[in-house]
Structure 1
Amino acid sequence: MAASSRADLYASRYPVLVLRNVVLLPGHAATIAVASPEGQRAVDFARRQEAALAVVVYADGRAPNMLTPQVGTLARIAEVVPQPDQRWQVRVEGLRRVRVLSLDVTSPAPQARIELLFPPVTPQAHTMAQRVRTLAGELHRAVGIPDAETLRVLEATEDPDRLADLLAGQLVRDVSYRQRLLELVEPNERLEHLAALIERELARVAAPSAPAVPAASTRLSAEPVIVADETSEAREEAERLRQRLATCGAPPAVVERVEQEIERLSRMSPASAEATVTRTYIETVLSVPWLTETPETVDLARARAILERDHYGLERVKERLLEELAVRALTNGRASRSTVLCFVGPPGVGKTSLARSIAEALGRRFVTVSLGGVRDEAEIRGHRRTYLGAYPGRIVEALRRAGTRNPVILLDELDKLATDYRGDPAAALLEVLDPEQNKQFVDHYLDVPVDLSGVLFIATANSLAPLPRPLRDRLEAIVLEGYSEEEKREIGKRYLLPRQLAAHGLPETAVELTDSAWQELITGYTREAGVRELERQLAALCRKMAREVVERGGTVGTLSRRRVTPATLRRLLGPPPYREMTATSEPQVGLALGLGATPVGGMLVPVEVLVMPGRGELLVTGQAGEVLQESARAALSWVRAHAARLGISADFVERMDIHVHLPEGALPKEGPSAGLALVVALVSALSARPVRSDLALTGEITLRGRVLPVGDLRQKALAVQRAGLRELVAPAANQVEASRLPASLARRLTVHWVETIEQALELALLPHRNDA
């Protein structure tokens, strides 16, 4: 049938999926294995555009070069599940008949120009629908087809068009026959042929030894025998699934459960919605690697070589990992049952790449499970099959992707888990990570035990603080702190710059940064604990240079080595966004440099104090948290108690107001470690003695004048280095951590270990300006 000009005028373009052996009828769902790149591109295009998909069948093997329009089905994509063999398992739901006017299979995603078909419904169709309902009931009582569920739907369906398609999907399996029914647009015609088909089958069942009763006058030939076709296909599918079940190595309890599901499936119509759900469940269970295991090899020399190859510095972390691998070697691959390593540190310090290196050293497959933003418990434990669109949880999906029962699974961004009315995913992880429970982990979708004891779980987090206490107790935290400037320079030279040069099509010898350029790039263009921003700046530099090469008409082969200096950086990248604080800055009264720690590394926290006439009020601003405000009140109390010794008028509180401000008010600040800086700034403001500008302070204070230890000293020391300062005042109780400071930092930074506030004041305060 040729397309009319009206049809051509109102035609629409849709991505098209060309099938060879599946006819999708409107109102029916089908699960299709899509292996061809063209088909996968069409599915991907429709899914990304949230568009419908035209499904067309070519049952006779013709090439999809259409000479005449063909009837197909407009469908909605319900689910796409990638399979280990590179196929996609796509579930589509038929919406309505369409006439495909033209087909373009040359574009990246095959597309079709279609015309929507609107089946006419006549009084004769309603009469025929009632007759077909009666015949379907007789057929169900005779041979059990259609099933009881479909029969109930038929009784409740008043639309003859929908009734015809629903029944055709149940009764007809032959591809050519289904396609011919699809091409019959008028419901009355379809119902007539279905009635004739049912009458023929009823006659055959009533007299199986008699010759077949001829069908009513019809344009459809070679009508299939309903029961034989349905039963044969179901039997063959059940046999295939049983063969896979026998070889998958599943435990007896799983085999028994899947055998029950296969038996149920064999009694269903293959085209029914319930059969699709059951078939998907069985396929999912069979795709779990119940028996497949990757042999583990533990070679400490090889492991050390891999760690050294992929990571610079991090010596303490590498030693801890080698110790873990040594234990696995002595226990035949079974490390301490309670060990779940958790890499904790700022972004960009190498947490994920360390986990990947461990998997490579062990010879295991590596899978990442991203937990950032997960707030539904079912994402971990899976959705129960009673829910529409149910699927397994992320842990089972990770096992399926790995294809082995003992992969290394990285639980990435563990501290970014959230909680809402759908449950607590952090609590669900307790069962996953507990060696006493994960041998019998039950995913809600599978509803059978899965043994996770062979999995090596590794987690990453920026901070352990957001994690619930029970979850923290199951983790062994390995802290990855920020890099020093020297470490960043070496990482940039060895890893980042070569990688960016290759990514931008430049030879490895095209760019050479001078030492001063590296220093400028690290301190002036980045302010981070890791190296991600450094890599982004190197990428920007490579882009600028690639553009210069192309604009000058040069090629990679003619490119000579380019020497990059700080002046070159400023010309290509613009002025440095970060200003380095140096020791030449003017010392000021009432300004002390404190230190803080954040999930992205240490940071400098200036503390400003201003005194003015008033009545003794203390005001703290700059998004100071409750603990920090308490530290400010404790600092003021200590100053009041020792005012005479400090040369401050004893009645200053009665005639002065004090304002403490922490700049960069957009950033919340919390913690007691700024106590020492608060005392120094207060004494400076009240005594008019300037504070040294080349020195930073950290330490918690007590009302007795003691300086207590603080956390994250290494991060804070690196922040001092990034700020260009050369001296640090820290609690003497933290001196045991001096060995953790990088050697290059220890050489350049002078640390004063103090036990009392008086010792810190002697180091930080300069004489009065008029005495200088």
Structure 2
Amino acid sequence: MTLPDSLVVVPLTNKVLLPSVVLKLTLRGKEASALTRKFFKLAEQRKPMYVVCVPMHPTRSSLPDDRWLMLSPSQDRLFDHGCVARIMRVQRAGLGAFTVFVEGISRCKVDRVTTAPEGAGLATVTHLDHPSKAQLDQAKDDLISFKALAKEFLTKIRELQLPDSLTTQLAKLIDNVSPLTLADLLVSVIETTFEEKLYMLSTTDTKDRLAKATEWMTRQLHVLKISEQIHSSIEGKLSKKQREFYLRQQLDAIKKELGESDGFSGGKDEDDMAQLARRLDEANLPKEAATTVQRELKRIKKLQPSSSEWSVTRNYLELVADLPWNKHSDETLDIARAKDQLEGDHFGLDHVKKRIIEYLSVAKIKGDLKAPILCFVGPPGVGKTSLGKSIATALSREFHRISLGGVRDEADIRGHRRTYVGAMPGLIVQGLRKTGVSNPLFLLDEIDKLVHSTHYGDPAAALLEVLDPEQNNTFSDHYLNIPYDLSNTLFIATANSVDTIPEPLLDRMELIQLNGYTFEEKLHIAKSHLLPKQTKAHGLEPEQVLIEDPVLLKMAENYTRESGVRSFERTLASVVRAKCVQLADLREHNREQDYNPKVDLADMEDILGIATFEKEVAERDPIPGVVTGLAYSGSGNGGILFIESSKMPGKGELQLTGSLGDVIKESAQIALTWVKSHAYALKIASSRDQNIVEKSDIHVHFPSGAVPKDGPSAGVTLVTSLVSLFSGYYVPTTTAMTGEVSLRGQVLPVGGIKEKVISAHRAGIRKIILPYRNRKQVSQDVPDRVQQDIEFVYAKTIWDVLEAALVISDNEKWPIRTYESHL
């Protein structure tokens, strides 16, 4: 093979290329581009391209980063010997850089370096002849000795349990290549300095080269023997780590010099599998998992890396290695800190905070406690998701949120079986892999939005095992196919309604209701959190936007009607933006001193437009048949509701209007039946057998007819309205009531008491009639100031309601009841 005498110079920084060694280089610049273009052109013609790799003096090198090499240095920075190399492969590395693989061919002496037109350095070289037969005969004993030394080195490497593919290749090299070539290769593999490699490159005498190579190989063997003695004298983890240190050191050096770090002979895959096996060994797997993993490891060694089955098995083993089988985060059981965290993040929600503090207290006393499965139920925007984050922070646990809204595939929860193409573990196992600990806090968001019973399976049914504290210690994911313990994981689910959650799933969770915020609570949240947050987000200082309580309350009442504070926050952002516009305009005209940071009630309409919602007020003119009831909207807000009754000539029919649901319609039927059956006792019929509606039709109307109304809370109000209509007695406009009534006249409890009472107080109501069994909700949930302003009457029967509500004038109330004898 004839090599050219004029070659492009590739300078090497802190590297030396020896013959028969493969080296990976990274080049950039216009000279590198020209070099690669020439390589590709010659490759198309099936012609090799040769360069000369010349080491640079390390003391004179001024390159900022060894990864980027120049192609046109001055001659005085280059070593006077180099290695002619053949370019094997070129790849783009991004950012104008190229990765070049070169293979050393022969030694040469650099005579002169010039600059080519494209800017690259051109070297005129003298090729150094290979040793003659006479020289080889003279060094015959040295060659035999070095080969024996190389075999001893191979034996020691095998004892270190390097991958079989590397030791096999090294054995082939020892058997098939000449000792001189082997010397160049091994000097590049073992631990030698830059100066020693330079000496090896520039020395032409065969005996001298072999002598130095033998000296350095002997030194390396001594190091390995000493390390082996250290291994045998130190037990446990230290021995394993030290052994792995030398093992990894030799492996990296051999792979680097053989060019196998980029997959020339499968060495990378072998190395990765060794690392994977070590990670699996360190994972402290349970017995069943360890057995499965060992079986899969033996199986993957028999597969070809190019096969799809090899890839599937490797992905599975990596998942097993990544899962936190025995990794726990340190849970902080500091009750005072947890209280401060919850109080600082959320205003109100006392019953939720109480439940979390109970859990922490029991866990601290007992030392161990199965994590409960909590489910926060409430309308949107009341802080269910953010409360989960606060609990995780209070417990010092890793937080992971899983959105279940719209999930329709059972495999999303339990994973796919590995027989499917693109199989993946379920959301639970993926979350554990991401958090890296076995005791995180999982937030199962929108659990009521799961799609049920499709042809993909039922994801809600797949959650039954996950959310059962008695079963989830052996949770089985289809992909993992190994039992995994979820008993240390704290699950918190959120839902807007429990109506769409299947009963078996609902039975596994402890429900905690989160009601909508009252306007007073929204006022506190706005002052403490929302306004400072929006002011900072818009680049203003706190004193540059001043909003007083009446303005904030008007914004909450008249411009938002929601359970949470999301719309309220967006409304506040609109006000802050309006102040930003004012301030920017004044700054442009150098009148910043005229800026008024205060926002008044009069500014509301200019900034936000006409009020979206009008505040409900109690009617002021008392009329028989018209009664004020209390309502609770699904958005978490309460309100007052008027019921109007009227009679007209007819045949005893009952007409209902006002966009009513079935429950309210049935309540109206019950109310009319009760009034008809007790007409004599109510003194609205002259005899026991008189039908008071024989010649009359009854029309009951709920105003705001376009607003749908339904629910079991209007029974007592309907009865009172009908009795008022027939008796002529009326209910004062400052009196309101709520509750359901049975056919026997029993007053039944209802929900939403807190929201109903607060909205009634805001509307001017001063007397509220409630079911007797709702008295605890008033004492626990209703603010003290509201309790002081309102007179509460607790009724067990409808007679208690009528006696407390009906009057004929300001001085004459409903007659003393004598109904007991008529029951």
Alpha carbons 2:729, 2:807 under 8 Å: kept: yes
Alpha carbons 2:371, 2:490 under 8 Å: kept: no
Mark the CA change 1:545 to 1:465 in structure 2 (over 3 Å): closer, same or farther. Answer: same
The aligned residue for residue 458 of structure 2 is 424
Distance 1:404 1:731 in 2: 50
The CA deviation at 1:664 is 5.2
**Pair 1:640-2:681 in alignment:** no
Q: Choose which of 600, 612, 616 in structure 2 pairs with 1:581.
A: 616
The aligned residue for residue 504 of structure 1 is 538
Distance 2:645 2:95 in 1: 73
The aligned residue for residue 734 of structure 1 is 774
Mark the CA change 1:745 to 1:244 in structure 2 (over 3 Å): closer, same or farther. Answer: same
Alpha carbons 2:280, 2:320 under 8 Å: kept: no
Q: Match for 2:385: what amino acid?
A: T
Q: Secondary structure at the match of 2:400?
A: strand
Q: Secondary structure at the match of 1:253?
A: helix
Deviations 1:662-720 (A, max 9, x none): 45566654432211122123334445655444333211112232212223322332343
- Which structure 2 residues correspond to residues 354-373 of structure 1 after superposition, within 5 A? 354-373=387-406
Deviations 1:474-519 (A, max 9, x none): 2222333333332221111111111111111111122222232122
The aligned residue for residue 697 of structure 1 is 737
Q: Secondary structure at the match of 1:509?
A: helix
The aligned residue for residue 750 of structure 1 is 791
The aligned residue for residue 298 of structure 1 is 333
Distance 1:308 1:681 in 2: 45
The CA deviation at 1:404 is 1.0
Mark the CA change 1:623 to 1:395 in structure 2 (over 3 Å): closer, same or farther. Answer: farther
Mark the CA change 1:703 to 1:548 in structure 2 (over 3 Å): closer, same or farther. Answer: same
The CA deviation at 1:274 is 3.5
Q: Secondary structure at the match of 2:614?
A: coil
Distance 1:656 1:284 in 2: 77
The aligned residue for residue 319 of structure 2 is 284
Distance 2:29 2:349 in 1: 59
Mark the CA change 1:712 to 1:603 in structure 2 (over 3 Å): closer, same or farther. Answer: closer
Q: Secondary structure at the match of 2:587?
A: coil
The CA deviation at 1:629 is 2.4
The aligned residue for residue 365 of structure 2 is 330
The aligned residue for residue 548 of structure 1 is 582
The CA deviation at 1:589 is 5.0
The CA deviation at 1:564 is 1.5
- Which structure 2 residues correspond to residues 224-235 of structure 1 after superposition, within 5 A? 232-235=267-270
The CA deviation at 1:621 is 4.3
Q: Match for 1:399: what amino acid?
A: L
Deviations 1:447-484 (A, max 9, x none): 11111111112222233343333323322223333333
Q: Match for 1:508: what amino acid?
A: P
The aligned residue for residue 18 of structure 1 is none
Distance 2:433 2:644 in 1: 57
Mark the CA change 1:62 to 1:485 in structure 2 (over 3 Å): closer, same or farther. Answer: same
Distance 1:559 1:360 in 2: 45
Distance 1:734 1:508 in 2: 43
Alpha carbons 2:407, 2:451 under 8 Å: kept: yes
The aligned residue for residue 380 of structure 2 is 347
Q: Secondary structure at the match of 1:254?
A: helix
* TM-score for the superposition, normalised by structure 1: 0.66
Distance 2:592 2:439 in 1: 47
The aligned residue for residue 386 of structure 1 is 419
The CA deviation at 1:406 is 0.6
Q: Secondary structure at the match of 1:328?
A: helix
Alpha carbons 2:467, 2:508 under 8 Å: kept: yes
The aligned residue for residue 481 of structure 2 is 447
- Which structure 2 residues correspond to residues 675-690 of structure 1 after superposition, within 5 A? 675-687=715-727, 690=730
- Which structure 2 residues correspond to residues 706-725 of structure 1 after superposition, within 5 A? 706-721=746-761, 723=763, 725=765
Distance 1:746 1:716 in 2: 13
Distance 1:241 1:447 in 2: 19
**Pair 1:566-2:601 in alignment:** yes
Q: Match for 2:774: what amino acid?
A: N
Q: Secondary structure at the match of 2:405?
A: coil
Distance 1:250 1:653 in 2: 80
Mark the CA change 1:666 to 1:294 in structure 2 (over 3 Å): closer, same or farther. Answer: farther
Deviations 1:20-70 (A, max 9, x none): xxxxxxxxxxxxxxxxxxxxxxxxxxxxxxxxxxxxxxx974569988999
Distance 2:573 2:666 in 1: 45
**Pair 1:409-2:445 in alignment:** no
Distance 1:344 1:721 in 2: 26
Mark the CA change 1:229 to 1:566 in structure 2 (over 3 Å): closer, same or farther. Answer: same
The CA deviation at 1:549 is 2.1
Paired positions, count: 568
Q: Secondary structure at the match of 2:720?
A: helix
Alpha carbons 1:485, 1:722 under 8 Å: kept: no
Deviations 1:116-152 (A, max 9, x none): xxxxxxxxxxxxxxxxxxxxxxxxxxxxxxxxxxxxx
Distance 1:280 1:588 in 2: 77
The CA deviation at 1:371 is 2.0
Distance 2:701 2:451 in 1: 33
Q: Secondary structure at the match of 2:419?
A: coil
Alpha carbons 2:371, 2:489 under 8 Å: kept: no
Distance 1:449 1:559 in 2: 70
Distance 1:430 1:245 in 2: 30
RMSD value, Cα:
3.7
Alpha carbons 2:736, 2:767 under 8 Å: kept: yes
Mark the CA change 1:301 to 1:103 in structure 2 (over 3 Å): closer, same or farther. Answer: closer
The CA deviation at 1:298 is 0.8
Distance 2:433 2:778 in 1: 46
- Which structure 2 residues correspond to residues 585-596 of structure 1 after superposition, within 5 A? 585-596=620-631
Q: Choose which of 265, 268, 276 in structure 2 pairs with 1:241.
A: 276
Q: Secondary structure at the match of 1:579?
A: coil
Distance 1:465 1:730 in 2: 26
Please identify the structure whose Cα radius of gyration is greater: 2
- Which structure 2 residues correspond to residues 32-181 of structure 1 after superposition, within 5 A? 61=26
The aligned residue for residue 153 of structure 2 is none
- The answer for unaligned runs of 5 or more in structure 1 is 1-58, 72-101, 107-204, 212-223
- The answer for unaligned runs of 5 or more in structure 2 is 1-23, 42-91, 97-171, 179-258, 814-823
Mark the CA change 1:250 to 1:721 in structure 2 (over 3 Å): closer, same or farther. Answer: farther
* TM-score for the superposition, normalised by structure 2: 0.62
Alpha carbons 1:672, 1:700 under 8 Å: kept: yes
Mark the CA change 1:724 to 1:458 in structure 2 (over 3 Å): closer, same or farther. Answer: farther
Deviations 1:554-610 (A, max 9, x none): 699979661122112222111221111224544455443333445432433443434
Moved over 6 A (4+): 64-71, 102-106, 208-211, 555-559
Alpha carbons 2:473, 2:486 under 8 Å: kept: yes
The aligned residue for residue 654 of structure 2 is 618
Mark the CA change 1:472 to 1:518 in structure 2 (over 3 Å): closer, same or farther. Answer: same
Distance 1:271 1:743 in 2: 74
